[in-house]
Each structure stands twice: as C-alpha cells, then as structure tokens.
Structure 1
Amino acid sequence: MKIGIVVNDVDTERPTAATTVIARAMARAGHAVYMIGVGELTYHSDGRISALGRKAPRDGAESQDAFIAAIQQEDWPRTTIQTGDLDVLYLRYNPVEELANRPWEVDAGIVFCQMAVLHGVIVLSHPYTLSYAVNKMYLEQFPESVRPRSIITRSFEEVRRFYEEQDRRIVLKPVRGYGGQDVYLLDRDDTNMKQIVGSLARSSYIIAQEYLPAARDGDIRLFLFNGKPLVVDGKYAALRRVNAEGDFRSNMTAGGKPAKAEITPRILEIAEAVRPRLVADGIFDAGIDIVGDKLVEINAISAGGLNAAGRLEGVDFGPAVVELIERKVEYRRKYGQQLRNRELAVME
C-alpha cells in the first residue's frame, strides 16, 4: 500500500504526535509512507495533483524519535509523487494551527484532496464534508441532548443576553481555533466582556457556551475511528486531560496533563449518539471531548493525544489504525469506484 500523509510541515512534526504513531505503524507494516507538507501540493493543468513527499524509513526506524529525526534530516530525499499513484491520502494537518501567519492552510489540503478523490484516491476523512466539519460550529449538528447550550454570534448584545440566561457563567471561544487559544471564562464578572467579544469578533464568529462545573476536573478525549471508539485488547484509545492549576482549560497546549481515562456508560452513550452523523459524513477519525456528561467539542481532523493514550494504557494503537486503512484499500481493489469515497472512509 502507498499512503501519503498530509501534515502542516514535515520539519515541525513531533515524535510524540498521533500522526507519528500512525505513520510509523504504517511503515513497520511494510507500506510505503510519504510525509507531505500541506504547502507541497501542486495542481496541474491536466487535472493531476502532485506532491513533494519524504518517504518514511521502510522499517519504521527503532523508535518514534528516530523515525521523525530521519525524515527531518536536511539531506533526506524528497520525491515528487503523483497522487494518482497513491492508494490513500490521509489528512493529518491542523487547518488553524498557524491561522495568523499561514491563512492559506485553512482549506488548502482539503481542496487539493477533493481533486484527488476524482482520480480514485481514497482520502481520509472525506474532504467534501471535512470542509465544514473542521469548524467548531459542526458540534451544533449533533443531538441537543449530548451538547451544552450555546449560541454563535458576533453580537455583544446577544452574548450579554446569553450570559444572563446562564446565571452569568459562560465560556467564549472563536469558531476557528484550537489548543485552548483565545478561550475565556466569564464567571460572574463581566468587566472585560466587551473587550473580549470585540477582540474575538475581529477575526471570527464567537461561540458562547454554558459553563459546565465538571470542567474543573478536566475532560475526556475519546478517539473514534469509523464512527466507533477504538479499542485494543479491551482498552479504549482515550485519555483524561487534567487542567493546570488555576486554569479552567484542559488542553495540553494550555498546560493540561494527560491521565488515564475512565470510560463510563454515559461516555459510550455520547459516542453512540454522534456515530450516525460521523458515518454519514465520512469522518474516518475524530477525537471527541467530553466534560461531565456533555460533548463540548468534535475534532474532525488531526486530533492529538493518541500517543499519550497508548502510553497510559500500555497499548500501541497505531497498528489497529493501520488495519482499518488496509481494509479500505482492499475494498477499493475489489469494488473499484463502485464504492464512493464518503462510504469507504468509514467502512469497517
């Protein structure tokens, strides 16, 4: 199998990233893996898509550190690949990682991969639905019973009205953002509300969300593949993210620390509630974030933490992900274009 994995920048990939876990597992299984920066794609006038990729060490190297160190060497070979020669293109880049400095990244990988689908390449997740699933507003398309109350607006008056309705305790965050950046808690103190709303509204719509008291205990990230929790040897690919002292956010980039997760019946109930929509949209992998008994976020592209989850559970989840992708390639070989990409992306 030949697979291209699209990341923000190969040179900034980390050994502990979920993408590294999956890419290395692919290479160790004997597949040809090409790491591709989202800025290294080219559309040609005849409709072809090419990419400048770095072929991963065939044996996966001796460790994740060695794997990444190898492909980040200055003299590591760069190979021009025709995406039509690949079996799979796997989107593992964060569209808003450098929104201020590289705004073109937001939809670049998704749009190029939409063209690749037309050439028969399996694209994970389905790029036509990823174009809206990467927006935090995607959460509002899931059952009301599993998500917190929220509004999405740029209006200060609407935010203030919602703040009063929620007993003067709400969370504000941009529709496009990640890692806890520009996320604020208004907890019975509206002194800076106007400034915060004005600042967020300059670059984004704003999500105002009810504050969940359980947030003080952190959250649970559960990894779903093909719409279902990933389980290996009876252990769930999941982790608890524990807030840094004095911070209501649990994001790792905001100082949160990983801990072992307890997967409760309610968490599995939430996972089952979101499954039909994820499957209908062809979302191959997603990280769902749960606070208490509510789903607060769906990360439909490049969800992080799989490496930490594996370390906490004593399981390597990478090979299980590889097996899921291998089956999709086998289905495509048997059925050709009879199976549409959206269906194939979530087919077990």
Structure 2
Amino acid sequence: MNKKKILKIGIVMDPIQNIKIKKDSSFAILLEAQKRNHQIYYMEMNDLYLKKGHAYAKTRFIRIQKEINNYFTFTQEQNISLNELDVILMRKDPPFNMEFIYATYILERAEKSGVLVINKPKSLRDCNEKIFASIFEKFIPDTLVTRNISQIHDFWKKNQDIIIKPLDNMGGSSIFRIKENDVNFLVISETMTNYEKKYCMVQTYLPSVKYGDKRILMINGKAIPWCVARIPKKGETRANIAAGGTAEIKKLDKKDWEIANYLSPVLKEKGLIFVGLDVIGDKLTEINITSPTCICEIELSTNISISSMLIDYIEDKIYL
C-alpha cells in the first residue's frame, strides 16, 4: 500500500477571502491536506459545469498559511475534468437551495466516474439537515414540519413554548422562539411560512439549551469523543456561535454516545462521512451534513486532530 502517493483533492466552498481562519473548519482540513503534500484544487459554485454529460470545473491551485492578512495564494488557474481528481470535498455553506442541488448533480457525475465525493451528492439532496433528524423519532423533541399556520397554532397551544425555524438556513438565521401568549405569534408564523407558501420546522423549546447546544462531530460513523457546547448569551434563544453564543468543550456523555452510535450505521450507509449532530439535553435537533463546523474549537482545546482523522479516512479509502 503506497502511503506516499500525492492526492489531488478538490474543495468546493464559499469564497475563501471571506472566511475567518481561526475557526473555519474547511481551512483546518486544507491545512492538514497541505501538510501531507497533497495538491489542493480550489473551486466555488460558479466554477462547476457540465459539458456533454461530463463534469468540469475552473480550478486554482491554492497554498495556505496561518497568517491573518495573507492566508492564501492562488496559482495555475485551469479548467479540468473533475474525474482527474481523487476526492472532492463539498463544503458550500447553506442556504440549501436549487443552486446547491444543481451543483450536487454535477458532482454526482464526477462521483460516477470514480471520484470520492464527501459528502455523497445524492445524500446531500435527500437528507435535509432539519428534516433528516426527524426519522430518528426516539431522540427528537416534539416536532412539526408544515406551512399551515393553523397547525403551527395548535402545536403552540399544546406545547406553549416553541421554536420555529426555516429548513434551508444555518448559523441560527431566522430562528424564533414563541412563548405562551406571545402577541407576535401570527406575524412570526406568516413571515416564516411566507403566508403558507413555505415549509418550516416547529419544535418544543428545550430549556436545557442554557447548558449548551452540543455539536458532535462524526467521521465515517465514529463520534469524536469531545464536542462543542454552544452556550447562548444572556437574553438570547439561539446558541449558535454565529449568533453570539460562546463555546465550551465537553466530553460526550452517555446519551450523546447513545445517539451517535444509533445514527452511525445510517450515516455510513448514506455516504455521509463528515457530519455534525446538534444535541440539546438528551434530544437530537439537527444533523449537519453540508459543511459541519467546530473542528478548530475542539482541536484548540484537546489533543485530537479531527482534520487529520478526516484526511486519514480519505487516504485509506483511496489507497485501499
């Protein structure tokens, strides 16, 4: 088995000039790949295209370094057939919209030609990050997916304290808490459903969020034993770091392991190699599969290298 082969690693991501390298998981993964002398082919969504049924992209070689104001350099721009690559990391952030879906069709053509795509394009389409969690009924809070305001109203009256959120966003964007007797119920419901034209997810509010909304990372069905507990700031419902939450590193507890181990075979079967589970208390709330984050926070506080584990998996899969 030749462990010295230089791999051609493609990555599809949002514009790299907009990232914050101290906490960007894609940057951490690329640093590890570069450390091992693999070639990195950088792509954005508008670089992907199909021609005569074959997948192509405009790519640029990228070199990166941990320098805040000078952290990347592009060289050698070229259009290539994606089947020249060994692996493609699809790391485009939500919103999960039709443009994202179209990109997965292109990546699926590359996959069919023998390229390893992480995560699997078909599963990126099939497993909406909000709705996917709902198939694991034994672990989720009381949950409703609807665009019918009367159904949301009945759910609210039954549970009294609820969370309502869109199906296609990230980072705590457009998440509302509606408490008992909230006079804003109707306007929030109308806004979130676009007057019953758009589906949203409604869940019971989980008071244990004050102890942290935990992000549990998994690689090929194996949970990382440390997680990031995102603590909401005072007076805030959302625990997301992007919404002002603070991060605490914690060991997985018994329930965390139970949830992760239960989901493991399903994730592996669907080719969901790098995944982030969101757990509040003992409840699974979301399964992040598009561009899971929190690598940097865990690596900074532990002796675990998650990015190294992911590259190990890629090398083992391709060298096999």
- Preserved contact between residue 209 and residue 231 of structure 2 (Cα < 8 Å): no
Change (3 A) 1:180 1:283: same
Letter of the structure 2 residue corresponding to residue 53 of structure 1: T
In 2: Cα distance, 1:8 partner to 1:30 partner:
23
User: Could you tell me how far 1:209 is from its partner in structure 2?
Assistant: 0.3
User: Could you tell me how far 1:272 is from its partner in structure 2?
Assistant: 0.9
TM-score, normalization by structure 2: 0.92
Q: Paired residue for 1:159, among 149, 152, 168? A: 152
Equivalent in the alignment of 1:94:
93
Equivalent in the alignment of 1:81:
80
User: Could you tell me how far 1:67 is from its partner in structure 2?
Assistant: 7.5
Equivalent in the alignment of 1:175:
167
Equivalent in the alignment of 1:261:
250
Please give the root-mean-square deviation of Cα atoms over the aligned residues, in Å: 1.8
In 1: Cα distance, 2:123 partner to 2:93 partner:
16
In 2: Cα distance, 1:148 partner to 1:64 partner:
43
1:197-231 Cα shifts (integer Å, max 9, x gaps): 1111126311110111101222111100101113x
Superposed counterparts of 1:84-123, under 5 Å:
84-96=83-95, 105-123=99-117
1:299-336 Cα shifts (integer Å, max 9, x gaps): 011011111111122443222211011011123xxxxx
Instruction: Give me the identity figure in percent.
Output: 25
1:115-147 Cα shifts (integer Å, max 9, x gaps): 1112111111111111021341111122x2211
- Preserved contact between residue 222 and residue 264 of structure 2 (Cα < 8 Å): yes
Unaligned runs of 5+ in 1: 231-235, 332-348
User: Could you tell me how far 1:66 is from its partner in structure 2?
Assistant: 7.4
1:139-193 Cα shifts (integer Å, max 9, x gaps): 1122x22111111111111011111221x11111111121111111111133111
Equivalent in the alignment of 1:338:
none
Q: Secondary structure at the match of 2:46?
A: strand
Change (3 A) 1:20 1:66: farther
Query: Do residues 125 (structure 1) and 131 (structure 2) align?
Result: no
- Preserved contact between residue 94 and residue 170 of structure 2 (Cα < 8 Å): no
Higher strand share: 2
Equivalent in the alignment of 1:21:
28
In 2: Cα distance, 1:199 partner to 1:274 partner:
33
In 1: Cα distance, 2:223 partner to 2:67 partner:
24
Equivalent in the alignment of 2:235:
246
Unaligned runs of 5+ in 2: 1-6
In 2: Cα distance, 1:155 partner to 1:29 partner:
52
- Preserved contact between residue 237 and residue 310 of structure 1 (Cα < 8 Å): no
Equivalent in the alignment of 1:344:
none
- Preserved contact between residue 135 and residue 175 of structure 1 (Cα < 8 Å): yes
In 1: Cα distance, 2:283 partner to 2:129 partner:
19
User: Could you tell me how far 1:56 is from its partner in structure 2?
Assistant: 2.4
Equivalent in the alignment of 1:2:
8
Equivalent in the alignment of 2:38:
31
Equivalent in the alignment of 1:321:
310
In 2: Cα distance, 1:198 partner to 1:238 partner:
36
Query: Do residues 146 (structure 1) and 135 (structure 2) align?
Result: no
Change (3 A) 1:66 1:315: farther
Q: Secondary structure at the match of 1:39?
A: helix
TM-score, normalization by structure 1: 0.84
In 2: Cα distance, 1:298 partner to 1:70 partner:
33
User: Could you tell me how far 1:48 is from its partner in structure 2?
Assistant: 2.2
Equivalent in the alignment of 1:70:
73
1:269-326 Cα shifts (integer Å, max 9, x gaps): 1111111221221101110011001111110110111111111224432222110110
